[in-house]
Amino acid sequence: MSSENLNLTLKIWRQKSPTSVGSFEEFKVSVSPDASILEMLDELNNDLEREGKIPVAFESDCREGICGTCGLVINGHPHGKIPKIATCQLHMRNFKNGETIYIEPFRAKAFPVIKDLIVDRSGMDKVLQAGGFISVNTGGVPDANEIPISKDVASHAMDAAECIGCGACVAACKNASAMLFVGAKVSQYSFLPQGQPERFQRVQSMVAKMDEMGFGSCTNTYACEAECPKGISVINIARMNKDFISAKIKSELTEV
């Protein structure tokens, strides 16, 4: 463990309210290289409060890379430049002494800024509410657990379920698309037998809600996969598109 502190310049986005004009504010900090970037912000806020100034508003919860609430854009990268980690797992030793670090909120029409680094990500919750669940009657818990699922199917479902819903895919996409997130949630259930009864209704409902919430279309640049802290594959987008087309065909045939 290094005991030498890093002297850094922080350019942090400050915005008082959703309707106010924001700008970058500069701070000078001396921080341990073993601190996480959120711990560094905690120390900065302690200093600001001691000086009678307004602390920087940001979100965090588990600080273990699980909850997804800590998402920030750091030097132009959602969650920072280190691949497959959340913001809370980014440590200051990954920066150089004297470096300037730009910290700003996720930028997207569907993620309006609430204050400083906090954005409203409720649009993603509404997409989940539209279909990210199963309501089929499976009986008691022992009966549901007796449904045989092959290892390959379970592995694919779990790979998709790793998505923590942080919104990095949206922040990374030039169209602010949420298709990686929605694709992962659709795939998560489409593999499992419990998810089959509502499979095609689910994908139509979630895609419709995604469009309603103001998320853009997929750009096919794979920026979402590159910036995802869990490495969710764009294959899930292809699976979602396949189910969506199948659902549309089934709907048309039913109408006929």
Look at residue 161 in the predicted model and tell me its pLDDT.
95
Q: Which of 115, 148, 168 is the last residue of a domain?
A: 115
Is there a contact between 43 and 29 (Cβ–Cβ < 8 Å)? yes
Residue 149: CATH number of its domain: 1.10.1060.10
Pair 25, 66 in one domain: yes
pLDDT above 90 (res 164): yes
**Do 110 and 123 contact (CB within 8 A), yes or no?**
yes
Pairing of strands 100-104, 113-115: unpaired
> What is the pLDDT at residue 113?
97
DSSP states along 147-172: S---HHHHHHHHHHHT-----HHHHH
Confidence bin at 145 (pLDDT 50/70/90):
low
Band of pLDDT at residue 144, cut at 50, 70 and 90: low
11 shares a domain with 106: yes
Classify residue 242: in a domain, yes or no.
yes
Q: Which of 77, 99, 115 is the C-terminal boundary of a domain?
A: 115
Domain count for the chain, please give it: 2
Amino acid letter for position 26: E
Asked if 195 and 189 touch (Cβ cutoff 8 Å), the reply is yes
- 14, 56: one domain: yes
- Numbers of helices and strands, H then E, in the chain: 9, 7
d(CA 65, CA 71) in angstroms, rounded, equals 10
Classify 159 in phi/psi space as left (phi over 0), alpha (psi -120 to 50) or beta: alpha
pLDDT exceeds 50 at position 1: no
Task: Tell me the two tokens of residue 104.
Answer: 């700003």
**Co-location of 249 and 193 in the same domain:** yes
Residue 61: closest CA among 123, 118, 129, 125 = 118
What value, to the nearest 5°, has the Cα angle with vertex 106 and ends 177 and 158?
A: 60
Written as one letter, the residue type at 142 is P
Q: Return the percentage of the chain with pLDDT > 90, whole number.
A: 86
Q: Please check whether residue 1 lies inside any domain of the structure.
A: no
| Banded pLDDT at 251 (limits 50, 70, 90) | confident
The torsion angle over the Cα atoms of residues 107, 54, 8 and 1, rounded to 10 degrees, is -100
Instruction: Please check whether residues 85 and 180 belong to one and the same domain.
Output: no
- pLDDT of amino acid 134: 83
User: Do 189 and 246 belong to one domain?
Assistant: yes
pLDDT at 147: 74
User: Quick one: 110 and 190 in the same domain?
Assistant: no
- Can you tell me the mean pLDDT for 34-61? 98
- Provide the domain limits for residue 197: 122-255
Distance CA 159, CA 153 (A): 10
pLDDT for 101-135, tens place per residue?
999 999 999 999 999 999 999 999 999 999 988 88
Lowest-confidence pick of 34-38, 109-113, 194-198, 239-243 = 194-198
Which of 159, 161, 177 has its CA nearest to residue 219? 177
Q: Confirm whether 127 is domain-assigned.
A: yes
Kindly state the tokens that stand for 25: 């504010």
pTM value is 0.91
Q: Does one domain contain both 157 and 241?
A: yes
Which residues, listed in sequence order, are joined to residue 29 by a DSSP beta bridge? Answer: 8
Contact 178, 215 (CB under 8 A): yes
State the Cα–Cα distance between residues 190 and 217, nearest whole angstrom: 22
- Residue 37 and residue 74 in contact, taking contact as beta carbons nearer than 8 Å: yes
Q: What is the residue whose two structure tokens read 């797992």?
A: 89
Contacts for 207 with CB less than 8 Å, ≥ 6 apart: 182, 240, 244
| Mean pLDDT calculated for residue range 154-172 | 96
Q: Which of residues 141 and 51 earns the better pLDDT score?
A: 51
pLDDT in tens, 165-210: 999 999 999 999 999 999 999 999 999 888 898 999 999 999 999 9
Average pLDDT across the chain, whole number = 93
Length of the chain: 256
Q: Identify which has the larger pLDDT, 220 or 132.
A: 220
The confidence score (pLDDT) of residue 170 equals: 98
Q: What is the reported pLDDT for 255? A: 66
